[in-house]
Chains A and B, each alone.
Chain A
C-alpha cells in the first residue's frame, strides 16, 4: 500500500509462539491477569469501570490461585479508595509487592497517598481504567480527566491503547517500577479498552518471570520497614531542607524513561511486540502529525494509513510514557519533516492555555527549537484540541477533520472535535459519512433488551470465533442509562486482520434486532450498509412480519437491498423452558445466517460454549439451551421482500407533543438516542436541569400491567405504597368529577368515613409500569369465589394500553385530596398523597424506591435531598430524565448529588445554610416589624409541626412578599431573598449502604454527632448494588457477594446500634414489607425529631437473587426470622425525653434458613461449598438470636423494667 510501517503493537509482527495462547478477553481481564500474578497484596474498592479487575483478583485469591512466586496474593477490600491507597502505602512500606485498581473519583481519593508513595520512591503500579470526573454531572465513561489530575503526584504514567497493549504495558509497568523505584500509574481508556473484548496473545507466566527480576524484588523488600534494621519515614521537614530533599529524587526520574525503554526492549525480545516511549506510525516524511494517548491512537493510526494511501503526508505519535515526559525521546520519534503537530487531549482543563499533553508538547518543541537541538527544519506549529470526553465517540471522520485542520494555514488551537460547539465555536466540522472500515470484516450490530442474554451470547460468539478460527474478533457493548427495560447494543467485528477500530460500527454487514418492540422507537437499520443481513425476532411469521414493520425500516430494506430473516425466538425459548432468554436461539441464527463458520461447526461450537458456561450450574440448564439451539433453525425463515413500501407505521415520538419546550428540544433528543447531535448551546451551562421529566418518557416496557377490580378492592393502599415506580395511584374525589370520564374509567364508592359520598379510583399508568408485580403480590383482597383473583391482577398490556393511557390522563387531571383532611399516620390515607418521585429507571421491583416515594408523599413540597452516589443517584439523576418531580403549585423536592464519600456532610451543609437563612429571615422580620403590622409576630411564632401549620405559614410568607415589595428598602430586599426560609424545610440525606456503612461512614458519624436537624435514610441493599454487588460492611454473614466470593465471614455491621450509642439520635430500622405502618411511623417521627435521625430501610435488590415480585414477602420473612428486627429508638419516644427503644417486631419465630435460603446470594454458597455454608449459617443464626437478646434487654433497661439487665 505505502511505506507505512506499523511499529509493532498488537502482535502482527510477532512470530506466533506456541508457548503463548490466543485468548479473548477484555481490557480489565488483560490487566488483572498481569497485576495479580505480579503482586502479593492487592487493595481494592469498586468503582466503574475498573471494578472487574478487583473482582477477578478477589475471585482468583478465593480459588487459591498462586502468583508468580507460588503464593496466593492477599486481596483486601477497603472502605474507600482513600482507604485502599492507605492500605497499599502501608503494604509497600512493609515490603510487599502491592497493586490496586481504580478510576475517576477513586483515583482522586488516592492522590494524597500517591504523593507520599512517590516521594518515598516506592515501587508499585496503580492500574486505572481512565474515566471522567464528576463536574457539571457525573459520568461513568472514559476520558483522561482522572489521570491528568494525578500527573503532579510523581507517579510515572504509562498509557495503553488496546486490550493487547493493556496486558503488555501492565507488565512493562510492573517490571520497570522495581528497577526505577518510581511508582507507576498504568492507564487505559475506561469502557473503550476496559470493556472491549478482543482476541489477543496472552503473556505466559514465563514472560512475567523473565521480565520481573528477583533481585529487584528482594531489593524492594530490603527497603521495607523492619525493627531488625529500623529507620523512620514520613518525617516533617522545615524550610531549611524540604526543597532540597524534594530535588534529591531527580536522578531517579531522569533514569526512569530509559529503564522503561529497556523493559520494552526486553518484552520485544520475548514476545516480538515492540513498544517505544513514543511510537510513531505514518509517513516517514509526514507534515502533519497527531500526538495522542490511549485508544484514540489506534483510530488515528488506522485513519492515517488510509489517508497515506491517498497520498497524504500524515502520521501519529502515540504517547506511551507520559510521565516522566522525555523530550529527547519525543523529538527523536517525531519526523523532522513535520510542519504541524496536532496534540489531542482527552481531558479538559478550564482556564488553561491548553490541555496538559498539548502544553508538554508545545514546551518541548519550543525549547528544542530555541536551543537549536530540534530535528525540525523549521519551528513546527503546535495546535491542541479536545476529543472523546466522557466516552464521546472518536471516529476516523474526526481524525480526518483534525488532519485537515492541521493542514490549514489558520489552524485553530483549543479546538474540539466530535461535538457541535455553537457557543464558543471550538468544534471542527467533520464528514460523518467518512469511513475506513475493512471490507474483509464482518461487522455485526445486535439490539437486545437488558438481561435478555443478548450481550452474553455475543460475548460467547466472540470467544467462539476468536478461539476456534484464525479470525480476529472484537466486541464492544453499549448500554443505556436505565436499570430496567434498557436497550443494549452490541458491536462485533470479525476479520482476518488485527482490528484497531476503537469506535462503534456505523457500517454494519449484519443487524439483529432481538426485541421487535425496538422497531417502534429506533431506526435499527440506520447502521446497515447496502446488502446487509437483517435478523428480527418477531412473533409474526415470514409472511405477516412485513406488514408490522415501520415505514422507515421497510424503506431501508428495499433501498439497501437488505436480506431479512425472521424467527419467533421467544416461542422457541419458551418451549425449551427458557422464557425471556432468547440468547442461544438468536446466537444460533446469527451463525446460520452470517456464515462466519460452517453451520454444523457453529452449532457444535455453540453447544460446547453452552456446556462450558452453564455446565457448572447443572445439567438441566445445559439441556434446555441445547434444545433451544436444536430447534432454532427450524423456526428461522427468510422474508420475501416486496418491491414497495406499504407500511403506514411511523416511529413513535420520543415524548408527547404537549411536553414542555426544553423536554421537546433537548431531552427528547437524548431519549431518541440522538443526544450526540445536540449542540453545546442546547445544554445548561451549570448542570442544572428541570425536574418532573420522567413523566414524558413513557417507555412502555411492561408486557403485563396490573388491572383493578373495583368491586373486590378494599382500598387499603398497600399496592400504591409498594409500587417502586409510582405507576399505581389512588384518588378520592367528588362524584361530579366523573363527568367526561373515558368509557373504561373505573371508580368505586370511597371507603372513608370522611369521604363517604365520594368516589375512589385506583389507576395504573400503563406506559410507565415495569410489570414487576409487587403490587399484586401485596394485595390482600382475594375473590371469595376464585382465590387466585385479587383486586389487582396482572394482565396483558397491549389490548388495554390505549384505553388505560386515556384513563391515566383523566385520572392525573382529577384534583388531589387536601392533605389537611388526611390522617398521614395511616397507609390508607397516605396512598392519596401525590408522590413526587415517579417512573424512575430503577430495576423492576426495586426495593429502594418505595421508600423515596413515601418520603416525597409525606414531605415532598418542602424536601431538600442530598443524595450519595450510587443506585439512587443513578435512577434519580441519570439523564435524560429524572423521577423527582413537583406538585401543582410547582413545589417539590430539590435534589443534588455531591460525591459518594461526602453525602452526610453535603446534607449537613444544606441544613446549616437553611437554618442560617431562617435565622437571618427572622432577624430581618424583627427589624421590619414596624412595617409588617399583624403579619410579623405570627411569622416568627408559627407552629409548623403539621401540614396545616406549614400551609398557613406559606400564606403568611406570600403576604410578606407582597408587603416587602411595597417597602423597597435594602433590608426588605434582603428579606425577600431569604423569606422562603421561614417555611420549615426538611433535609434528607439519602444513600445506600456502601456510602453509609463504608466510604461515607466517617462523615455520617460526624453528622449524627452534630445534633443538627437532619434526617438520614439508608437504603440498605447490603451490597454495592450500583457497581454490581460488591460486599459492603452491611453484607450479612454467610451471603456471597463480589469481594466475598467464599461468603462473607463476618457479621453485618450494626449501624443502628452504633448510632443509638449517641443517645440523642433518632434511630429506626424499617422494612416496608415487614410493617408498612411502622415504616410510615418511623418516617414521620424522624422528620419530627429536632435532632439527627437515622432510618435504615431494608431494601430488597436484584443482587439478592430471587424474583423481586416476592420482595415484600421476603421482607416479612426477614422480620419474622429476626434477621431484620423492626424498632424505633429515640429521646422523643418516652415522656421523660430519655431515650426509649420500641421493638416493633416479635422475637424470631422462623429459623434464619427459612429466610436466607430463599435468596441465591446465600444458596449459591450452599451449592458450592455446603460445609462452609452450614457453618456460616449456624453462626449467622446465632448472630440473629444474640442481637435480639441484646435489643430486648436494652429496651427493658431503658424502660426501667425488671429483668432487663442480665449480668
Chain B
C-alpha cells in the first residue's frame, strides 16, 4: 500500500495535490468536484482589497453620475437596498466551501493597506478557513525604494497578519527577488507557516496594433516548474515553513519532482483549466503508478530527496548549472555549424 499522505500548514493531507487559487475555485460545484477528483486541499481565489475599494468607488460614481442635473431625470438607476460590495460575498463563499467539502479550505488574500490585510485576514478566519494564503503582489515602481525596504515590508506584513489570526499563514511570493533565500529566512522569522513558490502574475503585454498595454496571462507549462524546483530545492531544510510548489505542475512527474525538491504539496490550476478537474485523478493514479514501478512506499520518503543539501552535486543548483546547460546547448547546436548562435556575453 503506497502512502501518498503529507502534511501542510499543520494539517495532515491525504496526498500532495492541492488546487491553487484560481478562477475554478469561484464555483462551489468545482470545489466539490476537486474533492471528488482527489484534491487534498483547495486554495480559494483571492480576495482583492483593491478590487473592493475600486468597486465601491466605481459603483458609487456610476450610480450617481449624471443625477440631479436635469428635471426629468433626477436619477438614472433604481435605488437597490444593498450591494454586496466588500468581503461579504467572499466570506460567504468561504463558509459555503467549508460546508461543502471535508478537505481543508485555504482562503487567499491580496491586500493593499495594513488595515486591509489584517482586517480581511481575521474575517477569513472567522468565516472558517483552515488557513490563509497571503498573495503578496507589490510592484515597487518607485526608483527610490530599495530592495531592503521592499523585503522589510513583506516581513512586517506577515508579522502583522500572524499576530491577528490563529490559523496558519502561508505566503505566496513572486520570484523576482535579489536574495530569495534570505527573504525566505526573514519570512520564517516573521512567523510564516508556509512559503508558496512562485506566484504567476498578469504581466503587461503590448498590443502593437493599438499601441496599448494589455494585461496578459497565459496558462503555465511544465517548463515553468523548473524555477520552482530550483528554489524549493535550495530552501528545503534551510527554513522552517512548509514549502509548496505552484506554477508549472501539470503531470504526476511534475508532482514527483516537486516532492523530491522538498515541497510538502504541489498546486495546480492551469492543468485543470486545460484538462478538466478530473485530471487530478489521473495525476494521482500517475503518482501511484510511478511510485509502484519505482518501489517507493510513501511521498514522505521522497520529500527533499533531491534538494540542495541532499543531492550528490549541489553545484548543479548554483552557477555550474548554468554552465552545464550552455555547454549542452552548444553541443547540440554544433551539429549544425551554420546556425551556431552567439551565446557568449
Contacts and interface: CB of A to CB of B under 8 A. Distances in A.
B154 to A, nearest CB: 25
B68 to A, nearest CB: 4
A248 interface: no
A1105 B63 CA distance: 7
B80 interface: yes
Which of B60, B70, B210 counts the most chain A CB atoms within 10 A?
B70
A624 interface: yes
Contact of A1105 (B65, B69, B85, B89): B65
Interface in A1015-1048: 1025-1029, 1040-1045
B55 A1167 contact: yes
Contacts of B84: 1167-1168, 1170
A1105 B62 contact: yes
Nearest to A625: B60
Nearest to A52: B74
B294 to A, nearest CB: 44
Nearest to B75: A1028
Interface string B92-107: 0000000000000000
B322 interface: no
Contact of A1168 (B55, B75, B81): B81
A1168 B85 CA distance: 8
Contacts of B64: 451, 453, 456, 581
B78 A1045 contact: yes
A484 B84 CA distance: 31
B223 to A, nearest CB: 29
A626 B41 CA distance: 42
B67 A456 contact: yes
Nearest to B77: A1029
Interface string B34-75: 000000000000000000110111111011111111111111
Given A55-B78, A1028-B74, A617 B68 contact: no
A451 B67 contact: yes
B119 to A, nearest CB: 10
Contacts, number: 155
A450 interface: yes
B314 interface: no
Nearest to A1024: B73
Nearest to B85: A618
Contacts of B77: 1029, 1040-1042, 1103, 1105, 1160-1161, 1164
Interface in A761-814: 780, 782, 787
B142 to A, nearest CB: 20
B60 A454 contact: no
A486 B52 CA distance: 32
B327 to A, nearest CB: 41
Contact of B78 (A59, A191, A456): A59
Contacts of A1102: 65-66, 76
Contacts of B55: 618, 1167
B211 A1040 contact: no
A347 interface: no
A1029 B59 contact: no
Contacts of B60: 614, 617-618, 621
Contacts of A882: none
B82 interface: yes
Interface string A195-232: 10000000000000000000000000000000000000
A58 B80 CA distance: 11
Given A451-B67, A1167-B84, A1168-B84, A1160 B62 contact: yes
Contacts of A1135: none
Nearest to A454: B68
A574 B210 CA distance: 31
Contacts of A705: none
A518 interface: no
A1164 B77 CA distance: 9
Nearest to B27: A1174
Given A1029-B77, A1105-B63, A616 B83 contact: yes
B122 to A, nearest CB: 15
Nearest to B66: A1102
Contacts of A948: none
A620 B52 contact: yes
B59 A450 contact: no
Contact of B57 (A140, A620, A1044): A620
A1063 interface: no
A1163 B66 contact: no
A488 B69 contact: yes
Contacts of B342: none
Contacts of A1097: none
A456 B60 CA distance: 13
A874 interface: yes
B144 interface: no
A483 B65 CA distance: 12
B180 interface: no
Given A55-B78, A1160-B62, A1164-B83, A617 B56 contact: yes
B79 interface: yes
B86 interface: yes
A1025 B75 CA distance: 10
A1106 interface: yes
Which of A62, A482, A621, A780 counts the most chain B CB atoms within 10 A?
A621
Interface string A1092-1136: 000000000011011000000000000000000000000000000
Contact of A1025 (B73, B79, B81, B89): B73
Which of A581, A620, A1106, A1164 counts the most chain B CB atoms within 10 A?
A620
Contact of A617 (B72, B83, B211): B83
Contacts of B68: 450-451, 453-456, 477, 479, 488
B82 A1026 contact: no
Contacts of A1026: 72-73
A581 B56 CA distance: 15
A836 interface: no
B63 A1164 contact: yes
A681 interface: no
Nearest to A484: B69
B121 to A, nearest CB: 16
B50 to A, nearest CB: 10
15 contacts: A49-B71, A195-B71, A195-B74, A453-B68, A456-B67, A479-B69, A479-B71, A616-B83, A618-B53, A618-B57, A621-B56, A787-B211, A1102-B66, A1103-B76, A1160-B59
Interface of A: 48-49, 55, 58-59, 62-63, 140, 191, 195, 449-451, 453-456, 477, 479, 482-484, 486, 488, 577, 581, 614, 616-621, 624, 780, 782, 787, 843, 874, 1025-1029, 1040-1045, 1102-1103, 1105-1106, 1160-1161, 1163-1164, 1167-1168, 1170
Given A456-B64, A617-B60, 19 more contacts: A49-B71, A55-B78, A191-B71, A450-B66, A450-B69, A451-B67, A479-B68, A479-B70, A616-B82, A618-B57, A621-B56, A782-B210, A1028-B76, A1045-B80, A1102-B76, A1106-B62, A1160-B77, A1164-B63, A1168-B82
Query: Top 5 nearest A-B pairs by Cβ distance?
Result: A450-B69, A618-B56, A618-B85, A1028-B73, A455-B68
